[in-house]
């Protein structure tokens, strides 16, 4: 890579208020990438507006402008750029904001391991090689119109209230399915064409994270929205890094938010189905738990479902 | 109250009715005597009336005698009758019927009296007529002594006339009339004119006595026909009637009384039974009371045990709550500190890793140099050039120096932070010591400042302070709490002014924020446990109550001044020479917490 001419190298922007962090990062990546640094959120946004980058990495806690704001600006001005958050400690609100508003690719925690950071950056650069197809409608606009039909929505929650709320929010005969267990979820996935899945984090005492990782691996175009009342920072980071969830909603959510989310998630599913190369942009780190023998059964089931019904 | 009045009224009513009935049934011996007296009087009057009537009948037989017996009988009767007539004294107020009968009697009596005076005059007239006849007859007889025929005839006339007068219902009237009419003829005028005249006079005298007798007879009949006896009998009957009525009414009342009395008795029996029942209930509850009284000690013991357990549970809960508040503020602190440590740790660690990687390049370069020095052939020189290209010593060494310097700086920052944490918590120091509050404030600021350093300016205005005896770790907690609260009250950018003052016997710490402030109602409650204006889950509401307790434990005071929109100012005042800084409750169970809270 370092043989490439400077102009052909992927461009990476690092935003952090601590200059020593920027020095370190530059020391790591200057060999392989065209590294630009911005010592603060405001300066970062200025650069985003004026220059093209492939990958944008930002700290969260910065004076004046937070990381979420930087990433939101990046998504707006440079949708092609893959966005990462590099943070020492983030409260839940920041994490949820970066998922929903920043459509973030990865969370990286400080202190980091250079090796892992290189791998993550490499993955981000690969993801950025595919142009982002922008789904034009913003959530506010789409909240008022009916989502396109023909895409099944599956609600995976042992609390029937979620299903009822969603059904009420959609006010239509859209294909909405409910499952209260992981097995039930797989069954429905096998029988019906599901594009969007709304899921709680723990269903019937079982954590859904592993299922989401497995689904991401075998059915990458499936759009996952997590809707939960017990979100915590660690979980959410996992969900992004290993599951690339699309949205994280907290219960209770208003009807308009739910409708808007279904709308935009459905469009995203359609976009992903029509443009399979876009899946490149949302690849995940392989979940180490998937390699565990316990996950074998689940994996093979999922594999079976998607080879039999989805391949055809 | 009303019920009681009703009961009392009912009892009085019952007694009044009873009294009334008793009164009604009362027939005193006097009444009986009066009754006997009345009856005897009436009877006597009847008797006298009968005697009087007898005398009346007899009187006309008296012929020429004065009717003395009649007068006596009349007198006796009149006397007795007067007793009745004098305002109805005897039969006064008995009954209307009796009165009526009595009035009727008086009427007939008056009638009889009137007739009697007629009768008496008639009687005296009759008597004088009779005397006249007798005298005339005796004179005639004296004159006709020689004439047997005439004398006989005159004698017959005299006898018949006397008989007529004596008989109550004389039947010889016609005979007498015949004799009388022929009497004068027995001696013709021509025979003896004088005698004839005498005989004519005698005959007229006889005729007049007969007339008088007839008259008298009629009067007698009329007199005797006056129904005085009947009237009297009627009076008596009416009296008997009324007496019987009275008696029967009394007996009716007596019956009523009997019924009423038995009903009353029944009621009393009912009440008694009820009372007995109540008493039994009372007895039973009394027994229960005594029983429970006996068990009171036991139950008090049990209750005390329960209360003691509840108290200890409560204390445990309080301890847990205080602990959870500590954990909550610790969590906030950790959030800030983690970021603050992770940042220098991030670059320090990364730099060390980078330098280690660079060391590989350096090693390769050194190896190339050594090889080139040993055998400076083309291959080795090419290798050396390659190695220099891989790791440029001019850039690389400089970069290494920078990276290592940064790493050193980062580690220094971390150790500084750890030091201030240690200073703050003072885990390795004695609880009570002489301490400068300015240092405590600095510690607290250092711990929490990183959470808001970009939006909130801390302004310091410290005075020279003497060291005061206190529990520094507790006061640090107080300062941290108040500064953090102040920072949370500021939305967006703002400032916190921290001043200290040395005022006589006390040291004052003033912490004023430019935040949203509080209304008076909130100010009144802020030092109470569990009071919070933060969202659920954001705070336990124990922070300021613990602050209050700590300050109170230090014999100090804490005041708050605030207005909505104008920020909040806390003034903490601590004595320089504390009597005894009680630090024992540092991690304590908060026993005094509730007492020390302001009302």
User: Which residue among B346, B354, B399 sits closest to A21, beta carbon to beta carbon?
Assistant: B346
Q: Give me the phi and psi of A150, to 5 degrees please.
A: 95, -10
Query: What pLDDT shows up at residue B499?
Result: 93
Per the model's pLDDT, the better-predicted residue between B28 and A192 turns out to be: A192
Q: What is the three-class DSSP state of B419?
A: helix
CA distances from B534 to A112, B369, B386, B526, B548 (A): 35, 67, 64, 12, 19
For residue B350, the chain A residues in CB contact (below 8 A) are 24-25, 27-28, 111-112, 114, 117
Given pLDDT bands bounded at 50, 70 and 90, which one contains residue B533?
low
Cα distance between the two ends of chain B: 43
Q: In what order do the strands lie in the sheet with A223-228?
A: A176-179, A152-156, A194-199, A223-228, A247-250
Read off the DSSP letter of residue B560.
Answer: E
Q: What is the Cβ-side half-sphere exposure of residue B116, based on CA atoms within 13 angstroms?
A: 22
For residue B348, the chain A residues in CB contact (below 8 A) are 111
Cβ within 8 Å of residue B442, ≥6 positions away:
none
Query: What pLDDT shows up at residue B593?
Result: 34
User: pLDDT tens-digit profile of B177-235?
Assistant: 787 777 777 777 777 777 788 778 888 888 888 888 888 778 878 877 778 788 888 88
With a cut of 70, say whether residue B357 has pLDDT above it: yes
Looking at CA atoms only, how far is residue B451 from chain A in angstroms?
9
**H/E/C letters for each residue in B486-525?**
HHHHCCCCEEEEEEEEEECCEEEEEEEECCCCCCHHHHHH
Q: What's the token pair of residue B230?
A: 């009947």
Task: Decide if B346 and A28 are in contact by the 8 Å CB cutoff.
Answer: no
- Chain-centre distance for alpha carbon A245: 4
Residue pair B355/B404 in contact (Cβ under 8 Å)? The answer is yes
Q: Cis peptide leading into A252, omega within 30 of 0?
A: yes
Mean pLDDT computed over every residue of chain B: 80
Helices A296-305 + A209-218 axis angle, to 10: 40
Residue pair A198/A154 in contact (Cβ under 8 Å)? The answer is yes
Stretch 39-98 of chain A: residues touching chain B, C-beta under 8 Å: 61-64, 87-89, 91
Mean pLDDT in residue range B93-105:
77
Burial B354-371 (b: 16+ CB within 10 A, else e): bbeebeebbebbeebbeb
Interchain CB contact of A4 with B (< 8 Å): no
According to DSSP, the residues that pair with A55 across neighbouring strands are A12, A82
Query: What pLDDT shows up at residue B581?
Result: 43
Residue-by-residue DSSP string for chain A: -TTS-GGGSPEEEEE-S-HHHHHHHHHHHTTTSEEEEESSHHHHHHHHHHS--SEEEE-S--SSS-HHHHHHHHHHH-TTSEEEEEES---HHHHHHHHHTT--SEEEESS--HHHHHHHHHHHHHHHTSPPPP----HHHHTTSPPPSSSEEEEE-S-HHHHHHHHHHH-S---EEEESSHHHHHHHHHHS-EEEEEE-SEETTEESHHHHHHHHHH-TT-EEEEEES---HHHHHHHHHHH--SEEEESS--HHHHHHHHHHHHHHHHHHHH-GGGGGGG--PPPGGGGSGGGHHHHHHHHHHIIIII--
Given pLDDT bands bounded at 50, 70 and 90, which one contains residue B474?
confident
With a cut of 60, say whether residue B146 has pLDDT above it: yes
* Number of inter-chain CB pairs under 8 A, A vs B: 71
According to DSSP, the residues that pair with B557 across neighbouring strands are B573
Mean pLDDT in residue range B122-139:
81
Interchain CB contact of B455 with A (< 8 Å): yes
For residue B390, the chain A residues in CB contact (below 8 A) are none
For residue A87, the chain B residues in CB contact (below 8 A) are 339
pLDDT along chain A (312 residues), means of 10: 64 92 92 91 92 92 85 90 86 84 88 91 89 61 54 85 83 77 85 87 82 83 87 83 87 84 86 83 78 67 64 40
With a cut of 60, say whether residue B31 has pLDDT above it: yes
Query: What pLDDT shows up at residue A4?
Result: 57
Q: Please report which helix (H) or strand (E) contains residue B334, including its range.
A: helix B228-374
CB-CB neighbours of A92 under 10 Å: 15
CA distance B154 to B132: 15
Interface confidence, given as ipTM, is 0.80
CA distance B370 to B374: 6
Q: Find, among A56, A74, A107, A117, the residue nearest to B347 by Cα.
A: A117
Mean pLDDT in residue range B364-373:
90
Q: What is the Cβ-side half-sphere exposure of residue B203, based on CA atoms within 13 angstroms?
A: 18
Between A169-178, B49-58, B398-407, B530-539, the lowest mean confidence (pLDDT) is in B530-539
- Chain A residue with Cα closest to B337: A89
Interchain CB contact of B344 with A (< 8 Å): yes
Interchain CB contact of A120 with B (< 8 Å): no
Query: What pLDDT shows up at residue B27?
Result: 63
User: Which residue among A20, A63, A89 sits closest to B347, beta carbon to beta carbon?
Assistant: A20
Given pLDDT bands bounded at 50, 70 and 90, which one contains residue B355?
very high
Put simply, whether the predicted model's pTM sits higher than 0.80 gets the answer no
For residue A89, the chain B residues in CB contact (below 8 A) are 335-336, 338-339, 342
Per the model's pLDDT, the better-predicted residue between B356 and B335 turns out to be: B356
User: pLDDT tens-digit profile of A292-305?
Assistant: 666 666 777 777 77
CA distance A33 to B358: 17
Query: What pLDDT shows up at residue A120?
Result: 92
Residue-by-residue DSSP string for B420-468: HHHHHH-TTS-SSEEE-HHHHHHHHHHHHHTTTTTTEEEEEEPPP---E
CA distance B156 to B145: 14
Q: Give me the phi and psi of B175, to 5 degrees please.
A: -60, -45
With a cut of 80, say whether residue B540 has pLDDT above it: no
Query: What pLDDT shows up at residue B554?
Result: 86
CA distances from B153 to A281, B186, B187, B199 (A): 195, 8, 10, 11
Query: What pLDDT shows up at residue B537?
Result: 47
Query: What pLDDT shows up at residue B87?
Result: 52
Counted residue by residue, chain B has a size of: 599
CB-CB neighbours of B194 under 10 Å: 10
Cβ within 8 Å of residue A76, ≥6 positions away:
none
Mean pLDDT in residue range B443-450:
80
Cβ within 8 Å of residue B196, ≥6 positions away:
B184, B187, B188, B189
């Amino acid at each position: 890579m370092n043989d490439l001419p400077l102009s052909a190298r992927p461009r990476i922007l690092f935003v952090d208020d601590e200059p020593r962090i920027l020095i370190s990062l530059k020391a790591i990546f200057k060999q392989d990438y065209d590294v630009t640094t911005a010592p603060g959120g405001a300066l970062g946004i200025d650069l985003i507006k004026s220059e093209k980058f492939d990958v944008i990495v930002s700290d969260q806690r910065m004076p004046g402008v937070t990381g979420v704001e930087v990433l939101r600006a990046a998504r707006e001005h440079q949708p092609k750029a893959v966005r990462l958050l590099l943070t020492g400690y983030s409260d839940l609100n920041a994490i949820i904001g970066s998922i929903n508003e920043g459509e973030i690719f990865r969370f990286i925690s400080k202190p980091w391991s250079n090796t892992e950071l290189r791998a993550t950056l490499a993955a981000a650069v690969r993801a950025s090689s595919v142009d982002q197809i922008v789904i034009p409608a913003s959530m506010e606009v789409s909240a008022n119109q009916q989502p396109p039909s023909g895409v099944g929505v599956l609600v995976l929650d042992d609390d029937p209230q979620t299903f009822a709320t969603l059904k009420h929010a959609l006010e239509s005969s859209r294909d909405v399915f409910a499952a209260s267990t992981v097995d039930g979820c797989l069954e429905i996935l096998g029988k019906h064409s599901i594009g969007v899945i709304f899921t709680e984090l723990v269903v019937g005492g079982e954590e859904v994270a592993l299922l989401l990782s497995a689904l991401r691996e075998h059915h990458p175009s499936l759009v996952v929205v997590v809707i939960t009342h017990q979100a915590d920072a660690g979980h959410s980071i996992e969900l992004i890094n290993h599951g690339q969830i699309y949205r994280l909603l907290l219960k209770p959510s208003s009807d308009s938010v739910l409708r808007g989310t279904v709308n935009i998630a459905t469009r995203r599913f359609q976009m992903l189905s029509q443009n399979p190369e876009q899946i490149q942009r949302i690849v995940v780190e392989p979940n180490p738990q998937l390699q565990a023998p316990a996950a074998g059964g689940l994996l093979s089931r999922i594999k079976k479902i998607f080879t039999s019904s989805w391949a055809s | 109250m009303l019920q009681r009045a009703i009961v009392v009224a009912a009892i009085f009513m019952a007694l009044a009715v009873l009294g009334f009935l008793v009164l009604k049934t009362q027939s005193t011996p006097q009444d009986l005597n009066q009754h006997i007296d009345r009856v005897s009087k009436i009877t006597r009057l009847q008797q006298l009336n009968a005697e009087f009537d007898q005398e009346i009948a007899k009187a006309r037989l008296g012929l020429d005698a004065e009717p003395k017996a009649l007068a006596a009988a009349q007198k006796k009767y009149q006397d007795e009758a007067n007793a009745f007539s004098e305002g109805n004294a005897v039969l006064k107020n008995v009954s209307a019927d009796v009165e009526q009968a009595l009035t009727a009697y008086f009427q007939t009596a008056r009638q009889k009296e009137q007739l009697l005076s007629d009768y008496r005059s008639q009687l005296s007239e009759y008597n004088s007529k009779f005397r006249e006849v007798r005298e005339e007859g005796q004179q005639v007889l004296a004159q006709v002594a020689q004439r047997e025929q005439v004398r006989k005839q005159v004698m017959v006339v005299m006898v018949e006339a006397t008989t007529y007068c004596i008989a109550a219902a004389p039947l010889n009237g016609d005979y007498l009339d015949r004799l009388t009419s022929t009497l004068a003829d027995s001696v013709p005028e021509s025979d003896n004119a004088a005698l004839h005249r005498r005989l004519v006079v005698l005959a007229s005298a006889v005729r007049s006595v007969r007339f008088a007798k007839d008259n008298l007879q009629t009067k007698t009949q009329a007199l005797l026909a006056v129904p005085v006896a009947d009237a009297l009998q009627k009076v008596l009957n009416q009296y008997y009637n009324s007496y019987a009525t009275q008696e029967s009414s009394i007996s009716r009342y007596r019956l009523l009384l009997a019924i009423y009395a038995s009903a009353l008795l029944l009621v009393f029996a009912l009440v008694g039974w009820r009372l007995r029942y109540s008493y039994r209930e009372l007895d039973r509850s009394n027994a229960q009371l005594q029983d429970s009284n006996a068990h009171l000690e036991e139950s008090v013991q049990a209750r005390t045990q329960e209360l003691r357990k509840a108290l200890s549970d409560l204390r445990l809960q309080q301890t847990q709550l205080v602990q959870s508040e500590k954990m909550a503020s610790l969590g906030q602190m950790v959030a800030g500190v983690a970021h603050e440590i992770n940042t220098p740790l991030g670059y320090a660690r990364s730099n060390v890793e980078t330098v280690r990687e660079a060391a590989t390049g350096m090693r390769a370069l050194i190896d190339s140099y050594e090889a080139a020095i040993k055998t400076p052939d083309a291959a080795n020189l090419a290798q050396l050039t390659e190695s220099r290209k891989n790791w440029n010593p001019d850039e690389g060494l400089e970069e290494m120096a920078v990276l290592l310097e940064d790493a050193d700086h980062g580690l220094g920052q971390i150790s500084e932070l750890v030091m201030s944490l240690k200073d703050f918590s003072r885990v390795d120091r004695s609880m009570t010591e002489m301490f400068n509050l300015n240092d405590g404030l600095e510690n607290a600021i250092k711990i929490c400042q990183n959470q808001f350093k970009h939006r909130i300016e801390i302004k310091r205005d410290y005075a020279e302070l003497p060291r005061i005896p206190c529990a520094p770790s507790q006061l640090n907690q107080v300062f941290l709490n108040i500064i953090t609260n102040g920072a949370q009250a500021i939305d967006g950018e703002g400032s916190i002014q921290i001043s200290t003052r040395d005022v006589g016997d006390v040291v004052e710490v003033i912490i004023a924020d430019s935040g949203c402030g509080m209304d008076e109602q909130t100010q009144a409650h802020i030092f109470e446990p569990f009071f919070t204006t933060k969202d659920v889950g954001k705070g336990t509401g124990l922070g300021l109550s613990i602050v209050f307790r700590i300050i109170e434990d230090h014999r100090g005071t804490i005041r708050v001044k605030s207005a909505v929109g104008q920020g909040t100012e806390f003034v903490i005042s601590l004595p320089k020479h504390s009597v005894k800084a009680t630090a024992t409750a540092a991690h304590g169970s908060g026993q005094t917490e509730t007492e020390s809270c302001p009302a």
